[in-house]
Structure 1
Amino acid sequence: MSKPRIAVIVGSTRQARFADKPAAWLMEKAAERTDMEVELVDLRDFDLPLFDEVASNMWVPSQDPKAIEWQRKVAEYDGYIFLVAEYNHSITGALKNALDQAYVEWVHKPMAAFGYGGLGAGRAVEHLRGIGVELQMVPIRHAVHLAGGELMKVHPMGSDGPMSEVDPILAPSATAMFDDLAWWAKATMQAREEEQAKAA
């Protein structure tokens, strides 16, 4: 079996977003892994319209070329890590729209999260997990949460220091998340392969 391909999906598209700093740190951690291949996927690069299809592509094929391009990109991966900013106790509108623009591509694949905000985006990550269940994904327990005083050490509205200042706090959570994601990615890859073989 090949190594799982994992996408780190940047869930904020604002010009003033903070996401790029934690995303770079997470990709550095991912580069240390030998059990998966990890790629950064930025929602800014896809210019997705607001969902305007007849129905989800679980029921009918999508028509908008931009939605189809997104679906094809999502389909390349065996699991996902969502970089989550918390907006009013939930995920960003851009991330919710991106999740809604696909369905069959998410099914039976694991998902993890790196949340940042005053409470580490804890409420947004919990909301994301519920959305993932409805999309038939496999939300894993372990996540990374950058919160409170640690957030202010690295955020531009605080000390704007390097991510190395919070690495000792976040690294153990990142390791647990990657370990868990690797296990579930391999398990679900095998199950999907067996399902495809039966259907052939």
Structure 2
Amino acid sequence: MIKIGIILGSIRTKRNGPQVADWVLETASARGDAEFELIDLADHPLPHLDEAVAPMFGPSAHEHTRAWAARIAPFDGFVIVTPEYNHSAPGVLKNAIDHIFAEWVDKAVGFVSYGAGGGVLAVEHLRSICGVLGMADVSRQVSISVLTDFRNHTEFVPGERHTAALHAMLDQLTAWSTALAPLRHIEGAEYEDAEQLSVTH
């Protein structure tokens, strides 16, 4: 069974993200077509990108980056839960994405966003970022308004349309994650060969 990581992309205090991510996890886990696991960036603190070379050139010298890579590597696809900050995604989420490379390649990604306008501008930026990393972003997404979908702007109250949209996105995500498995096998073998070559030379 494929494994899907649900990445909670905000670490600010009093964030609304955990309510949304928990709803995604609970709804997704009841489907039975994949294993779903929450990845909270608050549990994986990373400094501002401090690598000497680009992540595509091999394993990092830093333990925090290697630990993050090991956390992400086992998953076949991802749901990114993101707020919208100033018409884009949170810097901490971009930083976490930038820390690694091979662990993202040939994996599918879907988006659940929230904000005053549903977080759609954050998703537009993330789509272009994920595309450069060789990820397949599915077209369906879930957009949540903090103005109308949160009681008193603090308590998330998902409606039927949100659940329907989530299932539609997960249908695509699980199908694409499964279809990309042969490519991940090839890319993984090539990455391991390149890593061994860099060690021996």
Q: TM-score, normalised by structure 2?
A: 0.89
- 1:57 Cα shift? 1.8
Paired residue type of 2:46: L
Correspondences of 1:17-36 after superposition (within 5 Å): 17-36=15-34
Deviations 1:129-166 (A, max 9, x none): 0000111111110111102643343632xxx3x53xx3
Task: Report runs of 4+ in structure 1 exceeding 4 Å deviation.
Answer: 194-200
Asked whether the 8 Å contact 1:85–1:91 carries over to 2, the reply is yes
Asked whether the 8 Å contact 2:146–2:153 carries over to 1, the reply is no
1:64 corresponds to which residue?
Answer: 62
Correspondences of 1:178-197 after superposition (within 5 Å): 178-193=170-185
Asked whether the 8 Å contact 2:77–2:107 carries over to 1, the reply is yes
Asked whether the 8 Å contact 1:109–1:137 carries over to 2, the reply is yes
Asked whether the 8 Å contact 2:5–2:39 carries over to 1, the reply is yes
Q: 117, 129, 152: which one pairs with 1:119?
A: 117
Asked whether the 8 Å contact 1:116–1:151 carries over to 2, the reply is no
2:47 corresponds to which residue?
Answer: 49
Paired residue type of 1:70: W
- 1:31 Cα shift? 1.5
Matches of 1:70 and 1:197, distance apart in 2 = 20
Matches of 2:93 and 2:181, distance apart in 1 = 24
Q: Give the match's secondary structure for 1:173.
A: helix
Structure 2: runs of 5+ lacking an equivalent: 194-201
1:92 corresponds to which residue?
Answer: 90
Matches of 2:45 and 2:67, distance apart in 1 = 10
Q: TM-score, normalised by structure 1?
A: 0.89
- 1:195 Cα shift? 5.7
Paired residue type of 2:117: L
2:138 corresponds to which residue?
Answer: 140
Q: 1:126 to 1:154 in 2, by over 3 A?
A: farther
- 1:56 Cα shift? 2.0
Identity of aligned residues (%): 35
Select between 20-29 and 189-198 the one with higher mean Cα deviation: 189-198
Matches of 2:143 and 2:170, distance apart in 1 = 14
Paired residue type of 2:126: L
More strand by share: 2
Q: Give the match's secondary structure for 1:124.
A: helix
Matches of 1:154 and 1:7, distance apart in 2 = 30
Matches of 2:18 and 2:7, distance apart in 1 = 11
Q: Give the match's secondary structure for 1:80.
A: strand
| Aligned positions, number | 192
- 1:54 Cα shift? 1.3
